[in-house]
């Protein structure tokens, strides 16, 4: 009886190097020899720091005030997600040329299953190198690549030699590759877990691999069993294309806490316009809107409302969001953060109510504004103050 031939899986993990900062350097080449830090205002956190800034100790998720102390001469930018999303779209389009199995993890990160692509593109290692070179040539962005037999090891490998890293872990060498690395390099080992592992004398992935799986499960529950597998370089997860978008949201943290109602409602209007515009780009509609208000003492209130039918119209959602904000604004504290989210999404139906022309007219207005803003920028046309 013939036995089925098992083809070894070959997975590439690609991670764009200092993505937001690199896009800003493309837009303004004079930044390339300077420390560039992208983040959301004085009170926010660092989204991305280029490698020059990292020499001063600046890193992602660091409070911007700390970053300014470490690197006072750096160039600090709020960033523009319109440009980042466009670069991300072009990045993913390149990956789609090499495999039907591209799993987008974030704007700057993806897995590509290259199993069986040899007949089209030649040796997989050469293909992964070609992708890296394409990204550099077409987008002027650096990307680090990890190539291995599964997603876990490929991800760890892509971070091994940044920037422009290219690390290949051959089949059977996964455990040896991981063993000398700090245990926090494993996905899932955060600060709390790291502290608990250090308390047990576990500092490297090799140390973790020596701990019996049943003991890890007894100590940490289900995650302990997963850690035991990861320490040995085992991962059965497949590369899968992401499903449909589940939600569209946007929030902003103010540089100073505020009780200026007019300013807050105007901000809510701009956030609503942004999420509705993203809905229309994806040809989606939403039935449920959520407004989030976080106060200066970090207490967070949310309000949710579901419409009688799905829509994608700025004006309708802003009316609902404004009403929800006024419900949620029930404390005298200053506001630190404001956000809006749209969920309960469905494909655009393109069927309006026969005797209600308000919604079609409002949508037509939104679509025309989208065209103008796509061509001339978001600030080309702005709505008046909320009523």
CA dihedral 200, 205, 208, 210 (to 10 degrees): -130
Hey, how many other C-beta atoms are within 10 angstroms of the C-beta on 138?
A: 12
Is it the case that residue 257 has pLDDT exceeding 80? yes
The pLDDT of residue 354: 44
The pLDDT of residue 362: 79
The pLDDT of residue 355: 47
Q: How far apart are CA 99 and CA 63, in angstroms?
A: 39
- What is each CA distance from 73 to 206, 231, 241, 282, 350, in whole angstroms? 41, 41, 42, 40, 52
pLDDT higher for 358 or 256? 256
Q: How far apart are CA 169 and CA 176, in angstroms?
A: 10
Give percent above pLDDT 70 in the chain.
Answer: 90
Residue 298's SS3 state is coil
The pLDDT of residue 2: 47
Q: Per-residue pLDDT tens for 15-65?
A: 999 999 999 999 999 999 999 999 865 557 898 999 999 999 999 888 888
Q: Per-residue pLDDT tens for 78-134?
A: 888 888 989 999 999 999 999 999 998 888 999 999 999 998 999 999 999 999 999
The pLDDT of residue 262: 92
What spatial distance separates the first Cα and last Cα of the chain, rounded to whole Å? Answer: 77
Average pLDDT value for residue range 288-313: 91
Positions marked active-site: 109
- Fold for 19-82, please state it: MutS, DNA mismatch repair protein, domain I (3.40.1170)
Q: Per-residue pLDDT tens for 177-191?
A: 999 999 999 987 878
Q: How far apart are CA 210 and CA 383, in angstroms?
A: 62
Q: How far apart are CA 367 and CA 215, in angstroms?
A: 59
Pick the CATH number of 248-380 from 3.40.50.2300, 3.40.50.880, 3.30.930.10, 3.30.1490.100: 3.30.1490.100
The answer to whether the CB of 50 falls within 8 A of the CB of 21 is: yes
Q: How far apart are CA 113 and CA 148, in angstroms?
A: 10
Element (H, E) at 192: helix 191-199
Domain ranges of the chain: 19-82, 174-231, 248-380
Is it the case that residue 384 has pLDDT exceeding 80? no
CATH architecture of 174-231: Orthogonal Bundle (1.10)
Contacts of 282 (CB under 8 A, 6+ apart): 245, 248
Q: What is the chain's mean pLDDT, rounded?
A: 88
Q: Per-residue pLDDT tens for 126-176?
A: 999 999 999 999 999 999 999 999 999 999 999 999 999 999 999 999 999
């Amino acid at each position: 009886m013939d036995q089925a031939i098992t083809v070894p899986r070959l997975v590439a993990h690609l991670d764009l190097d200092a993505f937001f900062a690199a896009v800003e350097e493309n837009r303004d080449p004079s930044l390339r020899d300077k420390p560039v830090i992208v983040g959301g205002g004085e009170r926010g956190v660092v989204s991305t720091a280029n490698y020059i800034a990292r020499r001063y100790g600046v890193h992602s998720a660091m409070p911007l005030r700390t970053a300014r102390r470490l690197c006072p001469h750096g160039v600090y930018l709020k960033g523009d997600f319109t440009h980042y999303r466009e670069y991300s779209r072009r990045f993913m389009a390149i990956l789609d040329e090499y495999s039907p199995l591209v799993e987008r993890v974030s704007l700057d990160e993806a897995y590509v299953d290259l199993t069986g692509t040899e007949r089209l593109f030649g040796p997989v290692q050469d293909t992964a190198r070609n992708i890296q070179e394409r990204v550099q040539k077409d987008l002027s962005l650096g990307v680090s690549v990890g190539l291995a037999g599964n997603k876990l090891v490929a991800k760890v490998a892509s971070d091994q030699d940044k920037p422009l890293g290219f690390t290949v872990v051959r089949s059977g060498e996964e455990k040896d590759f991981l063993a000398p690395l700090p245990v926090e390099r494993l996905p899932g080992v955060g600060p709390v877990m790291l502290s608990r592992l250090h308390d047990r004398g576990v500092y490297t992935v090799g140390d973790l691999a020596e701990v019996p799986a049943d003991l890890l499960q007894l100590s940490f529950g289900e995650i302990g069993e997963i850690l035991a597998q990861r320490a040995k370089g085992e991962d059965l997860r497949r590369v899968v294309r992401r499903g449909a978008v589940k939600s569209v949201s946007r929030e902003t943290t103010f540089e100073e806490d505020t009780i200026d109602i007019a300013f807050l409602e105007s901000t809510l209007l701009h956030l609503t316009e942004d999420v509705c515009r993203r809905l229309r780009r994806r040809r989606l509609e939403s039935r449920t809107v959520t407004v989030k208000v976080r106060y200066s003492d970090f207490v967070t209130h949310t309000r949710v409302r579901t419409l009688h039918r799905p829509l994608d119209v700025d004006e309708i959602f802003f009316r609902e969001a404004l009403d929800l904000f006024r419900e949620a604004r029930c404390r005298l504290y200053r506001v630190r953060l404001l956000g809006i989210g749209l969920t309960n999404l469905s494909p655009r139906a393109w069927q309006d109510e026969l005797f209600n022309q308000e919604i079609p007219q409002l949508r037509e207005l939104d679509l025309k504004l989208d065209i103008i803003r796509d061509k001339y920028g978001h600030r080309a046309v702005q709505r008046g103050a909320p009523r």
